[in-house]
A and B are shown apart, each in its own frame.
Chain A
Amino acid sequence: MKIGVFICHCGSNIAGTVDVAKVAEEVGKLPDVAYSTDTMYACSEPGQEGIIQAIKDHNLDGVVVASCTPRMHEPTFRRTVERAGLNRYMFEMANIREHVSWIGKDKESNTQKAVDLASIAVAKLTQDRPLIAKKFGVNKRVMVIGGGVAGIQAALDCADGGLEVVLVEKTATIGGKMAKLDKTFPTVDCSSCILGPKMVDVAQHPNITLYANAEVDSVKGYVGNFEVAVKKKATYVDWTACTGCGLCTEKCPSKKATDYFNEKIATTTAISIAFPQAIPKKASIDPEYCIKITKDKCGVCEKLCPTKAIRYDMQDETVIEPVGAIIAATGYDLFDYTRYGEYGGGRYPDVITSLQYERILSASGPMAGHIKRPSDGKEPKNVVFVQCVGSRDKSVDRPYCSGFCCMYTAKQAIQTKDHLPDSQTYVFYMDIRAPGKMYDEFTRRAMEEYGARYIRGRVAMIYPKGDKYIVRGADTLAGTQVEVEADLVVLAVGAEAAKGASNLAEKLRISYDKYGFYMESHVKLRPVETNTAGVFLAGSCQGPKDIPSSVAQGSAAASKVLGLFSKDELESDPQVASVDIKRCVGCGKCIETCPFGAIEETDFRGEPKANVIETVCQGCGVCTSTCPQGAIQLQHFTDNQILAEVNALCQQPLVTSFE
């Protein structure tokens, strides 16, 4: 076999602590190596051309590049060798940057270890065989999970691009957090005025099927061919019949139901429509508060309903939706501020969250847009905002910045002055984070034009005094303790992963960080992809985001899906398990152990044998280490290939390496 080896300098990243010329020289002595050289940047255009030229000049059968992590550039070099006419799997990569040059300073040891790693790659390559990808069809339907602004944008872009879209929303209406906001920064434009039309577009788009009050139950399959089971939770109202006239909600006698849309600052009726612009505009019953369901009395709504839509005996229903791609846009939830005992832990009625304040400010909210204290309905004079409640706080396991609180607090301070010209606002902050377009100017306006008094320091405690609240904080710039007598305190609560986010991630087989936010495939270069092909991210499920970023990501995820679906067939990864029929004894152990259900039993001349469904196999290799016969092998990582690597390593004099 004729192998070419290229040892990359990576500028000084590798060459700084590895003698790359020496590595090329040493590896060049190996029996199968026909050509060995060092190269400044193997991934650059001249670097790749050099590889192609060497393949042609020396008639090479395969190539080893010793450079960086294969995560980034293995696909690059596979394309390079393919351009030179080789099979893309006749290529091996040795990581002498992350595994060598970046972690050790001893040049001699580093050089020896680089020789070892490159030699191992050469040994593996001698066992490599060309592999050919198979093609399979794509179901060009997409599911969007979550109907907040990111999910809405993704759904509309996909639908406008001609795709059939299934939008699944957990609550009874789409709109997400944005629908609860009164105004949006930095333009102070009306949230429902800009979101409302998009919500209506979703309802009216012929390509969109909307399941509200529904959740994803299970996900099977693979990119291009997923099967998602969606649980439609019982609403106790037949939505095909309901016209959203609202007669039932007017007459319902059970008026103490939890009003989740209004963030619990008000109560609602047991049968309700979340808000006037709800999409779908359909009534649903909260069974916990319905007198008919709990006590078998009442039944008023059933009698009144002009379309006879009430179904007290409705059950949850599951539908199966086949789709080719999935966009997760499940958003975020608010930090539970009651964990701050020093702020009253939820015991003080006029210490509220920023989202509750949005509902107070909103003209369609329970106070019809008049700022009043929840406790006594009085107009507040001094309104104190406390930032970073559940953000940048290790003591409550929330060390990250939620990103948007500085901005919405400035907006709320401005709105407070607009609503109540005689009011005075105070904002306790640690740092003002306003890096977006027109953002810093906006926070300055709150101070310069609206007289918000910004105080740099955290608040240590809030406690009632008479009908006011003492907010005791620090002004670190003045180097002193300060107290403000507040009528109303608004806590700028941070964002955390949506409840149940990790559960859904496991169904989707995507990764999430320790706080439950979904992991993108690459922090910088693959921001909406995940490590599971065909599953994309949009919005705050990936990390706290404001509206512009969420919308941008919604569109980005949609463009990724449209790009994916621009092909009629996809190529499967040939690095999958494969069964040697002659060796297989049909014991079935691999079938039991496969986490993806990718192996089935088949009959071969009257004997049971294992058979791998190549499109389902994820190439994890669990089956290969389970098989007692060694009959099932993972392509490109066969026992022979791994043993060749081990042999190469063990034949090295282990004096300086791997100490």
Chain B
Amino acid sequence: MHTINLTESFDGDFVRKIECESEQNVSLCYQCGNCTAGCPYTFAYDIPVSQVMRLLQAGQKRTLLSCKSLWLCATCESCTTRCPNNIDVARIMDVLRHEARRQGYGSERSVKVFWDTFLDSVKRHGRVFEMGLAVEYIARTGRFWTDLELGPAMLSKGKLAFKPHSIQGQAEVEKIFERFQQQKEQCA
């Protein structure tokens, strides 16, 4: 454990940015721990969600953006639903992820790759092409054993389409991503 110098390491701009983008007031959190108590993913987190809130109050940008928990949150809304102070905690987790991406963090690589691959599939086809997503994910991560044992069941049940369901508006969807990228670059 190291000592956190609160005067020096408190990043007020970071706190304000997260508050602004999530439309939440982190001062409302009184650290009751209900979010951690309800979170099904606490067992997998490196920092429990109530401590994510605490570190956010303390303006600890680096610790937060580099933590794995951000990538392991499934947005199941348990924290948001049960927060006694009506804080939308799941939305704060989401916004922290956005910021982590912008700052080049991605501490749980497999999850980030999976999400990126998913969105690439949407961009390319307009709809998710599940088979293509699986193949691409495996190729990108090199984890060729992923769900190998499920293949036969999937195929025999006819649950995997071999061809993408391309749509007429594929270009429109692709443009959503492109415009988003352009706007992001303009802002940066």
Contact = CB atoms under 8 A, between A and B. Distances in A.
Chains A and B in contact, CB within 8 Å = yes
Interface of A: 342, 388, 392-396, 430, 456-461, 472-476, 479-482
Nearest to A455: B33
B38 interface: yes
Contact of B34 (A394, A396, A458, A479): A458
Interface in B80-113: 82-86
A472 B83 CA distance: 15
Interface stretch (B14-22, B42-50, B144-152): B42-50
Interface in B48-102: 48, 50-51, 78, 82-86
A480 B50 CA distance: 9
Contacts of B36: 457, 474, 476, 479-481
A479 B35 CA distance: 12
Nearest to A457: B33
A342 B51 CA distance: 22
A590 to B, nearest CB: 48
Contacts of A480: 36, 42, 48
B26 interface: no
B31 interface: yes
A474 B42 CA distance: 10
Given A460-B38, A481-B42, A476 B33 contact: yes
A371 to B, nearest CB: 26
Contacts of A474: 32-37, 48, 50
B133 interface: no
B83 A460 contact: no
Contact of B33 (A395, A456, A461): A456
B84 A395 contact: yes
Given A479-B51, A481-B42, A473 B33 contact: yes
Interface in B139-187: none
Given A474-B35, A476-B36, A481-B39, 11 more contacts: A342-B82, A388-B32, A392-B30, A394-B84, A396-B84, A457-B32, A460-B34, A460-B37, A460-B38, A461-B38, A473-B33
Given A430-B30, A481-B43, A458 B85 contact: no
B86 A458 contact: no
Contacts of B35: 460, 474
Kindly list the 3 A-B residue pairs having the minimum CB-CB distance in the complex, ordered from nearest.
A474-B33, A460-B38, A460-B37
A388 B32 CA distance: 10
Given A457-B32, A476-B32, A476-B50, A481 B37 contact: yes
Given A480-B48, A481-B42, A475 B84 contact: no
Given A458-B37, A460-B38, A476 B84 contact: no
Interface of B: 30-39, 42-43, 48, 50-51, 78, 82-86
B92 to A, nearest CB: 16
A632 B39 CA distance: 68
B37 A473 contact: yes
B85 A394 contact: yes
A228 B125 CA distance: 79
30 contacts: A342-B38, A388-B32, A393-B84, A394-B85, A395-B82, A395-B84, A395-B85, A395-B86, A456-B33, A457-B32, A457-B34, A457-B37, A457-B50, A459-B34, A459-B37, A460-B35, A460-B39, A461-B37, A472-B37, A473-B33, A474-B36, A474-B48, A476-B31, A476-B32, A476-B33, A476-B50, A476-B51, A479-B51, A480-B48, A481-B48
B7 to A, nearest CB: 23
B83 A395 contact: yes
Contacts of B33: 456-458, 473-476
Nearest to A398: B84
A481 B32 CA distance: 12
B24 to A, nearest CB: 13
Contacts of B50: 457, 474, 476, 479
A479 B85 CA distance: 20
A460 B51 CA distance: 16
A335 to B, nearest CB: 13
A480 B51 CA distance: 9
B32 A430 contact: yes
Nearest to A475: B33
A479 B48 contact: yes
